[in-house]
Copies of this chain bind each other. A is one copy, B any other.
């Protein structure tokens, strides 16, 4: 499943006429294997990237390139760094403030309606949204009791 998603994205890249360099492919495979969004720092210390000796500047350049091409998406959460993940299915996140775990969640229907309402009320034309939930995951909520 992960590989199927990844293959689709690689195909999309080629179809957009982009070069698929070694660095970009490794980077995408790291993101595809990750359980949640990764920071540039986490990508840099991932075994695959270290093994291939991919430079910090290259990682940043590839990330911003892939984001521009809509292959990946970046998030700014409370922390200091930007987080990246594959842009395969649009989704949102549940961030546990205790253990820092990040889970994915699908919420969108209701925002579509809201966005239409915003357009009608204010004239603002929504192109995309960012929605993240902060709180306690099941485990941490149980511990706190």
Chain A residues at the B interface, C-beta cutoff of 8 Å: 74, 76-78, 94, 96-97, 103, 105, 107, 110, 114-115, 118, 122-138, 141
- A126: chain B residues within 8 A (beta carbon): 94, 133-135
A131 near B131 with CB under 8 A, answer: yes
Question: Mostly helix, strand, loop or mixed at chain A's interface?
Answer: strand
Residues of B within 8 A of A129 (CB): 131-134
Tell me, in angstroms, the Cα distance from A95 to B130 when the chains sit together: 11
Contact B127 A130 (CB under 8 A): no
Please state if B107 and A114 are interface contacts (CB–CB under 8 Å). yes
Distance to closest chain B CB from A83 (angstroms): 10
Contacts of A123 in B (CB 8 A): 137-138, 141
Contact: B138 with A118, CB < 8 Å?
no
Q: Which residue of B lies closest to A97 (CB)?
A: B127
In the docked arrangement, what's the CA distance between A110 and B115, Å? 12
> Quick one: closest B residue to A110, CB to CB?
B110
Interface residue from B122, B130, B136 paired with A125 (Cβ < 8 Å): B136
> Quick one: given A78-B76, A114-B110, A133-B115, are A103 and B122 in contact (CB under 8 Å)?
yes
Give chain B residues whose Cβ lies under 8 Å from the Cβ of A78: 74, 76
